[in-house]
Amino acid sequence: MNTRMISIIIVGARGRMGTALIREVMDSDDLTLGACVDRSGGPGIGQDAGRLIGRSELGVLVTDELKPRRGSVVVDFSLPKATENNVRRCVEAGVPLIIGTTGLSADQERLLAECGEHIPIVYAANFSVGVTLLLQLAGVAAAALGPDWEAEIFELHHRHKRDAPSGTALRIGQAVAEASDRVFSDVAMLNRAGGNAVRTRDEIGVTSLRGGDSVGEHTLMFLGEGERIELAHRSGDRSIFARGALRAARWSLAQEPGLYDMFDVLGL
């Protein structure tokens, strides 16, 4: 039996996802915390990662520089402005990258694809196993229902979330569009305020709400004449995303270079 511990390097360690990842790594039987990285100049640099989450000291301090070692896996839930530096450091070190940073630009996504020629990269807007299945079901439903059914997406997140719509909501919209031979960027309706709000035949609406401490709620509605179908996922605990990301980290170590997503990780 292979009992080698997998070294996990967490980028964005002081964020909500970062602290959830530290807890999951500490509670795991096959993972060890290799390093914790957060933004330069931020509070908490030099703090012990165990103390950061209210536990005993681990001897791993939060630093402001990513220095991955071969054999480790980098898990990045930081900010888009750090993405280029982080992915290039992983390529230089030859280590897999699991990235859940949302709000990436088209150029940054192209960079991930380019760097995926050299290392395994798993990139997902949402690492929840349940959300991944929701995306699969969204495509199946859209293809089966056809053009007479209208698609609307609703998402709710906590007051501190920076981007809107959420990356997951946009990914749901893309799944619906792809399954019904549409280009999501051409049919996405992200704002109906003012003017004529009458719905067009092909559009896919996305509505965002921010408030409270909601970890994340997504509902996809298909509306027909006299009936409605809803597919929904509600996240009650941020640890579900951490567990999904760490599942991807374990999986990535056996993969060839490439740009992957959670569908690949789950074999869907």
Q: What angle do CA 67, 73, 78 make, to 5 degrees?
A: 70
User: Do the beta carbons of residue 136 and residue 113 sit within 8 Å?
Assistant: no
Q: State how far the alpha carbon of 234 is from the alpha carbons of 113, 130, 191, 217, 259, in Å.
A: 30, 9, 23, 4, 27
Residue 88 amino acid letter:
R
Q: How far apart are CA 55 and CA 66, in angstroms?
A: 24
Q: State how far the alpha carbon of 57 is from the alpha carbons of 5, 66, 199, 265, in Å.
A: 19, 21, 56, 33
Residue length, the chain? 268
Q: State how far the alpha carbon of 72 is from the alpha carbons of 64, 176, 213, in Å.
A: 18, 36, 33
Give the up-direction half-sphere exposure of residue 179: CA atoms within 13 A in the CB hemisphere. 22
Residues forming the active site: 157, 161
Instruction: Name the β-bridge partners of 204.
Output: 188
User: Do the beta carbons of residue 201 and residue 186 sit within 8 Å?
Assistant: no
User: Do the beta carbons of residue 25 and residue 12 sit within 8 Å?
Assistant: no
